[in-house]
Each structure stands twice: as structure tokens, then as C-alpha cells.
Amino acid sequence: MALSIPCSPTRAVTIEDYLEHVRSDVDVRDVDSIAGSASMLRALANDRSLVISELNSRIENYFTEGALPSAQALLLGKGEGFYVRASIWPAIADMASGRAYQDQFSYNLAHDHNFSFLTVNYLGPGYETEIYEYDPDKVQGYVGESVDLRFLEKVRFGTGVAMLYRANRDVHVQYPPTELTITLNLMIADRDYRVRDQYFFDLASRTIAGYPHELPSSARTSLLTIAGHIGNANTVEMLSDLAAQHPCRRTRLAAYEALGRQQPDDAIGIWERAAADDAPLVSKEAQKRLRQFERA
Amino acid sequence: MASSTYRLTDFIHEVQARYIASTPNTFWSCGSALQQLISAGVVQDWLNDQLQALAKDPHHVGNWNAQQATLHKEAAWSLSVALFDTQRRFIHALPFQAFYVPLKYELTGKLFQLPPGFRNDVFDPSLSLTAAGDVKVDPLELLKLETERYAYDFLVPRPIPVLRFATASLRPLEWLFSKTSLQAWQANDADLSLTQLRIGAFVLGKIAHQSSVAPLRRLASHPHHAVRWAAIQNLGRLSRSEALIKIREAVNDQHPHVRRAAQKTLDQLDKPKQR
């Protein structure tokens, strides 16, 4: 399917108009329906006071509320299963001079997203992005796994076009723009994205390089690891439930790990149960652990 | 699920009564409450509550991230469990006060004295730490982090779960020192909001809309010197006259880096007139 959607309406709509449009006309579970919203999102980008008034008021509010959640991702509005935000992308020269910080922005890292989103350029020349796709059904999800990444296109994402990124299918590498660039994004945030994974990819070796820290599954894994270390007798039952039933395979694997740590005497039985898990991410790790027990 | 009489809410109320943020040393009076919280098994009960919520609703999102799980957070302090699983590349001079409590294994490391004349808000790469011995805390014992005098470098031979009871940042910068030379390497904003404000000032300057003069003017009076200077620089893109007023004021700024930058800017502005 085409990821670049040409659109250049001349009319402008307000954020309220756009939110109402998504609420009433877009099925956020259907990528074709999301793509159909491109022209309206482009029309929202024609509201030239949208971002500046939001950022001005954020800074004014800082002095009363004492916190500025983010200056590079501005939430503009939201509805059931979606939100609209502006993203700010500093220029390559501003990175080099230290006026903006590389680690605040996901430049030069190939990654997918665990949610779909539609994006249009709002200000500046736009950034360059390389887009690949992969089949999530063929990925087990472990670090170092080979992934069949298919190159789709390299585009300069400027005005007159909207881009649609499909959850867990499109992979992109984003390069810093030559000048400050601002994009508007329609982000699809259904509940299921919390149990889906997201990956960093190593394009040279075409493998999974890691998981973003901010993923809900990374947070769950960390919580379960802590539970494995410091849990008490009551912890075991809940770890067993999570290992058996949680829909996220990384979470199930972390629950088995935590159980094994909590009940070292039952470790073989725990990993035998894990070996029967439907997800190879869990079952292969379990088989590896069982082989280690055999050798010991 | 609570298995004890002392609860997290008891701890919160006790800290709220004892710790007065404007008097940082009052934080240390909360040690006994923390000890009671640990003895009562509140951390384990809280953890089990989180797991139960997750088992009931697989989409449940608690106040956890990949680095730590937060039991409670308010403007002046926070209580969280972190897993120390990676040795840090630098020695960090922390901008907050804290009690660290290793929950399962001992916590060991090196202690370093901050340099004489150390001023947190003025980064000086010529300063260096002095080794001040070792630090060792047994499981469930409290380590008082005296960060106004010392920097700590903890060893991580295995993942170590640590209960962190910490104030909010009391100082504007977190300094990083080289582990080999012990010299100051860089300083980061203690609070992410400060970095965000600088990025915000930069973006307003780039867009250069007249409606941003007022927020930039406010930022030019921010307590953090780097925010003040970012605001003044970017105000210059919107209004030369406004920026000149602020630059002339900044020549007498309380922070030496701002004073120096303002004077340099004025000297550069004067140069064409001298030709």
C-alpha cells in the first residue's frame, strides 16, 4: 500500500474541527479509514497559529504549574482511541552545535511503532526518512533475530503529502532536517498497543537490536524482574497467572524468569511449563534453560 | 492484600509532616518512617498489588518504567524501587538528597569528596573529585546519601533492587566526573523540565512570532541560568530592542557564565561602531 498520500487542500480547519472529524468519520481500527483523514490533517496544518499559541501557553503555564512535560511533543487534543500532537524536529546544525540534544530525538535509529499514525509537515523543510516494511507474524521478537526488512522508499517529507505509518509493519529511519521542522500527527492509541511490541533494528545486519525503554512491555518486564528479586510468598501466585495468561510474550517470559528466581527449587518445572508456551520467544528460551539444567 | 498495620499512606503522611522542602535537612528526620515502612513489608505488598492489577487487566499501566517502579511521587519527594543493573559510565554528583536501601543484596561502592569551592550551578571542568573511601550497606539498611558533600560510584556485580526515597532536585545541575581522571566531564540539567524550557525557547526563537515575546521575557527571569540565557538569545530573533534590554541587565546577572556571555555579546554588537 502507498505510505505517501499526496494532499494539498487550501482551506484551514481548527483543531476542534479536526477532532470532531476523527470522532465521527474515522474508524481508528482501519488503516484505510485513517488514510482517508489525510486531507483534513493537511487542512489542520493550514492553521498557522496552532503550534505557536500552544507552545506559548505551555510556557506561560509552566510558571503556574511548575512543569513542562515536553517541548518537542505538544498534545493538541484527543478522543477515544486517538490523539493529535505536534512534534518538533531540530535541525542537524542545532544538534551539532549543542543547542538541541540528539538523545531527545529518535534520529538515525531504525524503528517501528506499536501504533499506527498519520503525519503531515507543518513548518520547515521536512525531514528525510527511509521506510522499510516487515511481516510481524514472522518475527519472534528476540534481540539478535534476523528480520526480512523490505526497503520501500526514501522520501523527503515536505508539504503536499501525508505519511501513514502502520503499526508493527513499517520501519523507518529518520534523519535530522536541514532546518527546524514541525509535524502534526494523528496518533492511534487503542488499548491493544500496550501489549504490542516495538523494536529498534540494526539495518546492517537486518536484526532486532533492542526494545525502546518507554514501551509498556519494557516497564512490565522491569516490574516483574523486581518482583522476582524481592517478592514474597504472595507474589508467586500472581507471577504464575501472568506467566500463563498475559497476552504479551515478553511479559510472560519475564514472569517465568521471576518465578524461577522466586522458586529456584522448582525451576525445572517452571521452565517446562514455559517450554509449552505458544510464542517461540518464550518456548525457545525455556528450552535453552532446560538444556542448561541437563548439563549442570 | 496489605499484611501489616503500617501502610504506605501512613508513611506518606509522616513524610508530609516531617519534610519541609524549604529546609532540606528535615528530610533526614524521615529515616525512622522509612525503616518502619521496610520492616512492615509495605514494598512487597505494593508490588503484589501492582501484579494483581496487571493480572486482572493485562492492559493496566502503573507508575513504572524500564528503570524503576514508583510507589509514590509528589512535588517535593518520591519513593521508588529501582533495579541497579548497569555500572554507570561516570561518577554522578546527584542534585537531590536520598536514602538508598538495598532490598536483597548488599550495596557497595566508592565515595568521593566534592572539590573545594564546588558550586553546583557553575560548571567548571577544571575541578576534580577526591577519593574518600568505600561505602557498604547491608540489605535493608539505610544509606544516607549526603550529596551536598559527596559523589557515589556504586558497584553492580549483579542486578541489585534498591529502594530510593529521594527529595526532588535541590540543585540545578547534575555533574558527571570521569572515573579515570576524576575530573568534571559535563553537567546536565537536574530536571528534564529545564531542558524542555530551553528547547521551548529555542523553538519560539526559530518560529519568531511576535506573540512569543511575552513568554520569552518571562523565561529570561527564570531561576536557572541556562534557561535565562536561552530565552535572551531567542528573544533576539523576535525583538532586537527587547533583547538588548535583557542583555544589558544580564551583564550583572548572578551567574558568571551569563554575565560573560552577555558582555561578549555586547562587545560584538559594539564592534561595527568602532570600525
Cβ contact B199–A88 (<8 Å): yes
**For A172, phi and psi rounded to 5 degrees?**
-135, 155
Residue of chain B nearest A228, judged by CA positions: B161
Looking at residue B1, what is its pLDDT? 46
CATH number, domain at B117?
A: 2.60.120.10
Chain B interface test: which of A238, A249, A250 (most B C-beta within 10 Å): A238
Cβ atoms of residues A221 and B66 within 8 Å? yes
Residue burial A188-221, b: 16+ Cβ < 10 Å; e: rest? bbbeebbbbbbbbbbeeeebbbebbeebbbbbbb
- Chain-chain contact of B211 with A56 (C-beta, under 8 angstroms): yes
Exposure of B111 in the CB half-sphere (CA atoms within 13 A): 17
Q: Is residue B2 part of a domain?
A: no
Residues of chain B contacting residue A232, judged by C-beta atoms under 8 Å apart: 41, 44, 48
Nearest to A232 among B44, B52, B202 (CB): B44
Are residues B31 and B124 both part of a single domain?
yes
Mutate to test the interface with A, among B49, B56, B206, B212 (most CBs of A within 10 A): B206
Instruction: Judge if B210 and B89 occupy the same domain.
Output: no
Q: The CATH number of the domain where B223 resides is what?
A: 1.25.10.10
Least confident interval from A3-17, A37-51, A168-182, B190-204: B190-204
State the average pLDDT over residues A29-46: 94
Q: Which residues of chain B register pLDDT less than 50?
A: 1-3, 275
Contacts of B81 in chain A (CB under 8 A): 226, 230
The verdict on B168 and B59 lying in the same domain is yes
Last residue of a domain, one of B173, B190, B207: B190
Give the total number of structural domains in chain B: 2
User: Residue A69 — pLDDT band, cuts 50, 70, 90?
Assistant: low
Taking a C-beta distance cutoff of 8 angstroms, is the pair A165, A180 a contact?
no
Q: Which of A128, A153, A224, A219 is nearest to A4 (CA)?
A: A153
Angle between helices A249-262 and A280-295 (to 10 degrees): 30
Whether A96 has a pLDDT exceeding 60, the answer reads: no
Whole-number average pLDDT of chain B: 93
**Can you give the pLDDT at residue A61?**
87
End-of-domain residue from the set B139, B160, B190: B190
Cα torsion B17, B18, B22, B24 to 10°: value is -160
pLDDT beyond 60 at A99: no
Shared domain for B87 and B160, answered yes or no, is yes
Same domain, residue pair B118 and B203? no
Same domain for B186 and B208?
A: no
pLDDT digits (tens, 9 = 90+) for B87-115: 999 999 999 999 999 999 999 999 999 99
Count the neighbouring beta carbons within 10 Å of the beta carbon of residue B82: 17
Chain A residues close to B211, C-beta within 8 Å: 49, 52-53, 56
* Distance separating alpha carbons of residues B220 and B235, to the nearest angstrom: 9
Encode A252-281: b = buried (16+ Cβ within 10 Å), e = exposed.
Answer: bbbbbbbbbbbeeeebeebbebbbebebeb
Least confident among A13-27, A102-116, B134-148, B236-250: A102-116
Q: How close does chain A come to B226, measured CA to CA in Å?
A: 11
Side-chain-facing half-sphere of B154: CA atoms under 13 Å? 22
Contact between chains at A245 and B55 (C-beta distance less than 8 A)? yes
Cβ-based contacts of B67 with chain A (< 8 Å): 213, 222
Q: Which of B163, B190, B217 is the last residue of a domain?
A: B190
Contact between B166 and B115 under an 8 Å Cβ cutoff? The reply is no
Residue B135 in 3-state DSSP? strand
pTM equals 0.88
Nearest residue on chain A to B229, judged by CA atoms?
A: A99
Q: Number of A:B CB contacts under 8 A?
A: 155
Q: How many Cβ atoms are within 10 Å of B77's Cβ, its own excluded?
A: 21
Give the mean pLDDT of chain A: 90
All cell numbers assigned to A208: 532486532
- pLDDT tens for each residue of A191-206: 888 899 999 999 999 9
Q: In angstroms, what separates the C-alpha of B132 from chain A's closest C-alpha?
A: 31
The verdict on residue B74 lying in a domain is yes
Q: Are B250 and B217 in contact (CB under 8 A)?
A: no
Mutation site for A-interface testing, chosen from B39, B48, B67, B234 by largest number of A Cβ within 10 Å: B48
State whether B252 and B141 are in the same domain: no
The whole-number average pLDDT for the span A70-91 is: 88
Taking CA atoms, what residue in A is nearest to B1? A234
Same structural domain, B239 and B258:
yes
- Structural domain boundaries enclosing B29: 8-190
* pLDDT score at A103: 53
| Chain B residues within an 8 Å CB radius of A231 | 44, 47-48
Q: What is the pLDDT of residue A2?
A: 45
- How far is the CA of B26 from the CAs of B30, B35, B76, in angstroms? 8, 16, 12
Q: Which of A59, A259, A262 to mutate to test the interface with B (most CBs of B within 10 A)?
A: A59
Query: Do B165 and B49 share a domain, yes or no?
Result: yes
End-to-end CA distance of chain B: 79
